[in-house]
Amino acid sequence: MNVIGINGSPRKQWNTATLVTKALEGAEAVGSTTELFHLYDLDFKGCKSCFACKTRGGSSYGTCVLHDDLAPVLTKIATADALVIGSPIYFGTVTGETRSFLERLLFPYLTYTVPYGTLFPRKIKTGFIYTMNVTEERSKEFGYEQIFKSNERYAQMLLGSAETLCTFDTCQVDDYSKVVIESFDPIHKANRRAEVLPLECQRAFELGQRLAGE
């Protein structure tokens, strides 16, 4: 088994990256090989709507025609057995890089047939990991669940099975006194990072184990 991890956060050692890494460790624990990519290290853009992936008889039918830093990552995903995609929630949705990645990953495989179909060559498991500083109750109030369900639905439709792990009320910075961020209680946030993050890491580890399982 080969499992690809995608960190859609600009930070490489904070909540999202930590949980994606833990998921990959879970996959490794059951014998899988893994590879992690940080989207903010890559030079790429989202879908350009050129429709080269949809052109009848075209040489790029079913594949993205763009040649940039993301292209080899997409090639590796096409032969992987499972995929872990992590993103923090910014302004109610995934980061811009994560959204651009999802466009480039999914659109080439979508067929505008009746009914819709997929050109993805096999079935793989996808795990989404989302981190956010709002509470679970507030996330429901804001309608975040619809975003998570939508991403799951497209992954299931085009790639295979999918599941989601959400981490709420996360600690945003090491030292709240250095930033203007008075909407949050720094003691509460520090306690969340010390007490809850390890539990979420275990959940992510188990997610990786499931994704890599037969």
Asked if pLDDT for residue 196 goes beyond 80, the answer is: yes
- Per-residue pLDDT tens for 47-78? 999 999 999 888 889 999 999 999 999 999 99
Question: H/E element holding 153?
Answer: helix 144-158
- Per-residue pLDDT tens for 77-95? 999 999 999 999 999 999 9
pLDDT for the residue numbered 95? 97
What is the average pLDDT score of the chain? 94
Mean pLDDT of 156-182: 91
pLDDT for the residue numbered 179? 83
Domain regions of the chain by residue span: 2-212
Is the domain spanning 2-212 CATH 3.40.50.300? The answer is no
- 5 phi, psi to nearest 5 deg: -110, 140
pLDDT for the residue numbered 57? 87
Asked if pLDDT for residue 214 goes beyond 80, the answer is: no
- Residue 184 near residue 207, CB atoms below 8 Å: no
Please give the model's pTM, rounded to 2 decimal places. 0.94
Contacts of 29 (CB under 8 A, 6+ apart): 205, 208, 209
Tokens 């993050």 identify what position? 197
- 37 phi, psi to nearest 5 deg: -120, 135
What percent of the chain has a predicted confidence (pLDDT) above 90?
84
